[in-house]
Structure 1
Amino acid sequence: MHELFVAGEVDANFLNTNSVRPVVAQSWQRSLAGGVDPDLDGARAAAAVAAVERLRETHPLAPALPVIRRLLVADAADSGVVVAVSAADGTLLWVEGDPAACRKAEAMNFVPGADWSERGAGTNAPGTALTLDREMQIRGSEHFSRVVQPWSCTAAPVHDPSTGALLGAIDLTGGNQVATTQTLALVRATAVAVENHLALLRVSGISGISAEPAARKPHLVVLGGDRPRWVTTDSYGHLRAASLTGRHADILVLLSRHPEGLSADHLAVLLDDKSLDVVTVRAEMSRLRKVVGAENLGSRPYRLLAPITSDIGEVFAALDAGDVETALTRYPGPLLTHSVSPAIGRLRTQLSTTLREAVLAEHAQGRSGPLRRWLELPEGRDDRDGWQALRDSAGLTAVARAQAGGHLAGLDFELG
């Protein structure tokens, strides 16, 4: 059936009536329509291949890598199985497992940095799982690319526990033994365990941390609708989160953006350009010092005495690196929406606008995934230009185009 299909002698409807699973037939059709060559030696190199180390360090799945290694990699070492973790765009980040199997997989470019999305490598478990956002098993000759047909694979997508955004996929690749219901249950359970692990970190206000349990810097959480928090690690390695008042969160954000320090007068103007006086600023700094510790906060000028991390800093860093996917993953919503500080308002607008423009630029280059994720955010739901760009996208399904058009009609009705 595969040979007949790639030769153009039969269509997808014929496949569906001749023992080819519909989900596979549809994937073959997408692969062919997307220009995937079934005779390629393997997946193509991703644009980010040279930066795979940076992707690993900053990817939101990095903190859960020990969980994946404990549940999957540890038992794959001598079983002929390869364990792979991919980003949401299909780029392989980690490929581990049986050394002999890993060497064989290298022959088809199943290596970190390679693009194993469906559009890059054709029908395969991690790529098709990401395309359909569902668990997937692909057996031998169901693969679109001939070089992959000696292998079978099982993959499950992983989502952000707070936003539901697609983070990537976990995959087992090997012989026929990885295409069983038991393997599917194992991969599914691992994906659930990873999401639960990320949720525990998120409750404590930590995201994008290193996969290694090293000493962590204080972390500031100020994006989205949750109450701002200051998160630290105690001497036993336990996370401790302290809620912040709005004014204290404003101050910490401003100090994190001004490492050179700020005078009381300058800070007063940044916090409130009308009625705030220096005495009030000094009183607030005294209270804040009790929350974050005197060892973290200096005076004359007011400044942070030790490096910290923050969710806003993570988003800006990802944008600086051109990594829009990671920026969206780290961005649950606007900066301190209730703040009346003019400086915070300016920073809020800067971050939101920069992210939106980056998303639209990605869309203009033919990558609509970031735009879809932006439109799912509260800020994107009323973004008329964004919805119009999505509706006019090439390659959109009829239903998706209708949904975008309907959303636009609703916006136009509301706006008159």
Structure 2
Amino acid sequence: MSQAGLPTSPEPALSSGDDPREFAAVLHAMYDAARSGGQLPARPRSVIGESWERATDAGVDPEHGRPVDPLEISTVEQRRVESGLESILESVTGGLDILLSGGENLLVIADATGHVLWRSGGPSALRRADRLGFSEGASWSEKAVGTNAIGTALATRQAVQIFSAEHFVRTHHSWTCTGAPIRDPQSGDVLGVVDVSGPASSIHPTTLALVDSVARLAQSQLRDAHRMHLDVLRSVAAPILARVGAPAVAVDPHGWVAAIDRLAPRPRIALPRSLRAGQQDISGIGLCDVEPLPGGWLLRPIEAGTSSTGVTVRISREQDGPSTVQVDSMRGSWVVTPSPRHLQIIELLAAHPDGLTAAQLSAHLFGDPARSVTVRAEVSRLRKQFGSLIATGPYRFSSSVTVVS
């Protein structure tokens, strides 16, 4: 057991050979006794008992939950972009198709706050979920609806299966749900939860192992994608470090080292949350010149008597080939070939040094200020390449950048 009393490995709600109907009857009796303060016929699993305590402390109504208005679809779309989960959707869906084939179960992917971002399933499963408010944008954290596979997996950071009256809210007792957290291999944070929910009668102990395996496969894919990202960053940074001829290191946004020269080798550097271009103190290194790289940062310890310089962004629109954006600094340069849409955004920001709101950018790009969700998603992707060179609130090139077009 862990220090918190939670299982250190996935624990199915039902053992192989158990009768679901008999077990459900025991759980209902246990639940009713717990609610009325009577003698419990059995003790709940530790993961359930501790979750019930958290739900009670949060003030969740065991009869109806704590209704929370779902997020607007525009906010859901934005969260999908920012969640870090889009790239693994296909593998998660493919890995769990077998559990959806009967039409009774629902596949849900929620973000790190427990809000439902995607769901799929047969028409009857979707209708049953809608009656519970189990829809895209709804919160299924423990604070909102008590014990459930999404919220409890987030709270415990473990795969978990919740059956029948183990759910804190009575209206959920006809369900069984199985959830497993998906962790970010770069930061170690939980990105979200993959969940399979359906009628209580559909429970099977092997479901937990399958859902947990699919979540771990998704994490492996994210890890492989991170390695590829570091390889690309290394290919950009290596010639720059060679030209610098002084101590320097290239890191990704989470501080993982892609290339290092004349500094003690280390796998990762602790970066401040507000890292930006310019001079900044870096833990374990000291005061550094910080310059953006495509998908990361160049950190160069500052020697006495030296100072950082600004950055020049050169936009080259070609007639017979792809247009490029070149970023030049004192330490080197790198080139990006943006998509046509990203090139439009870059040129608009260059033409409006005071900045543009998402609605204003939308009006310029689409002739419609209402498509700001699409704009925010595109700028979010663009900033992954240019980092703090593009500032927000409103969107603009930062003051340290000179734009040449």
TM-score by length of 2: 0.54
Q: 1:95-140 CA distances to partner (integer Å, 9 max, x unpaired)?
A: 1122220121011011111110011101111111111111111111
- Kept in 1: contact 2:323–2:337 (CA 8 A): no
**1:227 corresponds to 2:266:** no
1:106 corresponds in structure 2 to 130
1:24 corresponds in structure 2 to 48
| Correspondent of 2:387 among 313, 322, 326 | 313
In structure 2, relative to structure 1, the CA distance for the partners of 1:35 and 1:224 (3 Å cut) is closer
1:2 corresponds in structure 2 to 31
1:146 corresponds in structure 2 to 170
RMSD of equivalent CA atoms: 4.5
Q: 1:297-352 CA distances to partner (integer Å, 9 max, x unpaired)?
A: 278xx9966445527739988x869xxxxxxxxxxxxxxxxxxxxx79xxxxxxxx
Matches within 5 A, 1:27-46: 27-40=51-64, 44-46=68-70
Q: Which amino acid aligns with 2:185?
A: P
Task: After superposing the two structures, state which structure 1 stretch, 100-109 or 177-186, moved more.
Answer: 177-186
Shift of 1:143: 1.0
Which one has a bigger Cα radius of gyration?
A: 2
| Correspondent of 2:159 among 135, 147, 153 | 135
CA distance in 2, matches of 1:314, 1:138: 43
Shift of 1:40: 1.8
Shift of 1:156: 0.9
**1:253 corresponds to 2:292:** yes
Gaps in structure 1 of 5+ consecutive residues? 207-217, 230-248, 258-270, 286-292, 322-342, 345-416
Shift of 1:153: 0.7
- Kept in 1: contact 2:294–2:386 (CA 8 A): no
1:72 corresponds in structure 2 to 96
In structure 2, relative to structure 1, the CA distance for the partners of 1:93 and 1:314 (3 Å cut) is farther
Shift of 1:158: 1.2
Shift of 1:155: 0.8
CA distance in 1, matches of 2:202, 2:89: 21
In structure 2, relative to structure 1, the CA distance for the partners of 1:314 and 1:66 (3 Å cut) is farther
In structure 2, relative to structure 1, the CA distance for the partners of 1:255 and 1:174 (3 Å cut) is closer
Shift of 1:184: 0.8
CA distance in 2, matches of 1:146, 1:315: 51
- Kept in 1: contact 2:68–2:139 (CA 8 A): yes
CA distance in 2, matches of 1:256, 1:125: 34
Shift of 1:49: 6.1
Q: Which amino acid aligns with 2:150?
A: P
1:297 corresponds in structure 2 to 326
In structure 2, relative to structure 1, the CA distance for the partners of 1:43 and 1:129 (3 Å cut) is farther
Gaps in structure 2 of 5+ consecutive residues? 1-29, 231-235, 238-249, 260-287, 297-301, 315-321, 339-381, 395-399
TM-score by length of 1: 0.53
Instruction: Look up the SS of the partner of 2:51 in the other structure.
Output: helix
Matches within 5 A, 1:6-405: 6=35, 9-10=36-37, 15=40, 18-40=42-64, 44-46=68-70, 50-73=74-97, 76-176=100-200, 178-205=202-229, 222-228=252-258, 253=292, 295-297=324-326, 306-307=337-338, 309-310=383-384, 313=387
- Kept in 2: contact 1:221–1:310 (CA 8 A): no
